[in-house]
Amino acid sequence: MILEPVLPVSLTWYYEAALRLDVESTPRGLQMRRFSILLILAASAFAQAPPTAAKQAPSGPPKPAPRLASGRVDFSGLWRPADIFLIEDISLGLKSGETVPVNAWAQEVMKKHLSKDDPEASCLPTGVPRHAPYPWKFVESPPYIYMLFEGNIHSFRQIFMDGRAHPADPNPTWYGHSTGRWDNDTLVIDTVGFNDRFWFDFVGHPHTEQLHTVERYTRPELAILTEEVTITDPGAYTKPFTINAKHRLLPGDELLEYICQENQRDTQHLVGPAGRP
């Protein structure tokens, strides 16, 4: 992704900066103040390398994940992507030596994608498995689990936990129709019924309405949530493949109001083919 000189810093640079700050030890309010200073410095210099988080002293062994009265692991808390795999390029979350098995159609589509045409850059929902680099959380309200997102348009996903099946012919939507179940301490979410309008990442990996995702979330320790998502889409990929990513806890924090559409001027400065910043 290339930025015109008129805009020395775009949202994509902000994303990179956010992901490289130490969220476990730095309150988000302080992070926001850092961002303001960094943006001013970047604007004056027209180019700055993203900041590097200050090195922290070892904090001892990881703390265990909390548990509910039932004994099951508790997924509560505010989370944020700990890496860029589900933001910039899903291929980064593959196992070593693997490649995204795009078919001929998907390859041609990706060649035509331009950064400015990324739906997420226009404040539309990210779809699945993509994440915005903003906080999000699980909310359990049986028989549902909700995923609330600060980014984009305050999107949410609804996961049915009552054992129901997917509709035979679901209406295509940005987040699809999701059913969930617990496999011991792992939350498994099965989703179909997607529209074909979102990209998987900045690079522009596409999909079709045949997309089927299976997400597996685990909390191996207090501050880490792992996500494994298997993607099946015979319309765009030659075989199923699996991406692994992590999310980090934002302790003591809450979702903030963020209106992506307000004063949105970023896309007019995004030029060139789709790609990582």
Is the pLDDT confidence value at 149 over 70?
yes
What structural domains does the chain harbor? 2-55 (no CATH), 79-249 (2.40.128)
Mean pLDDT for 180-205 is: 98
b/e for 103-114, b at 16 or more Cβ within 10 A? eeebeebbeebe
Q: How far apart are CA 201 and CA 190, in angstroms?
A: 20
> 3-state class of 94 per DSSP?
coil
Name which of 14-18, 40-44, 89-93 the model is least confident about.
Answer: 40-44
Encode pLDDT of 217-272 as tens digits: 999 999 999 999 999 999 999 999 999 999 999 999 999 998 888 877 777 778 78
pLDDT of residue 59: 67
Residue 200 has pLDDT above 60, yes or no: yes
Q: Which tokens sit at 253?
A: 């924090």
What angle, 0 to 180 degrees and rounded to 10, lies between the N-to-C axes of helices 28-45 and 11-19?
A: 130
- 34, exposed or middle or buried, with CB in 10 Å at 0-12, 13-18, 19+? middle
Q: Is pLDDT at 38 greater than 60 in this prediction?
A: no
- Residue 131: predicted pLDDT: 95
Tell me which amino acid residue 144 is: Y
Location of structure tokens 């899903």: 90
Please report the pLDDT score of residue 60 as a whole number.
77
DSSP 156-189: EEEEE-S-PPPPSSPPPBSS-EEEEEEETTEEEE
Q: What is the pLDDT of residues 103-133, one digit of tens each?
A: 999 999 999 999 999 999 889 999 999 999 9
Q: How confident is the model at residue 20 (pLDDT cuts 50, 70, 90)?
A: very low
